[in-house]
Amino acid sequence: TVAQGFLASYMAEAGIDDAGDIVVELWYNKGGANQEILEAVEAMWEENLGIDVRTVNVEFATYLDTLEGCNAIGGGGF
């Protein structure tokens, strides 16, 4: 898949041999379908890419502070 190609390129560039060594945190705030969506993404990325994905529930204010500090890439659908 395209995602697997991107992952392989990244791993080669970064010198990573095992995709399981890559850890991605997906932060979400309560409300809407945020948790369900990110848990589905977590399952798909772990199954199809072999990376370690963790979903993390954070308070909305913390989520916004993190986005404003450019410490994350996040959705802007609110």
Binned at pLDDT 50, 70 and 90, residue 37 comes out as very high
Count of domains observed in the chain:
1
Helix axes 2-14, 34-49, angle to 10 degrees: 70
Question: CA-CA distance, 61 to 67, in Å (whole number)?
Answer: 10
Q: Is residue 47 part of a domain?
A: yes
Q: Is residue 11 part of a domain?
A: no
Q: Which domain holds residue 26?
A: 20-78
Q: Mean pLDDT, to the nearest integer, of 8-19?
A: 97
Q: Is residue 70 part of a domain?
A: yes
Q: Is residue 65 part of a domain?
A: yes
Q: Is residue 3 part of a domain?
A: no
Q: Is residue 29 part of a domain?
A: yes
- Using the structure block, give the residue that is written with the tokens 């945190």: 25
Q: What share of the chain is helix, strand, coil (3-state, %, to 5)?
A: 55, 15, 30
Q: Is the pTM of this model over 0.85?
A: no
Q: Is residue 1 part of a domain?
A: no
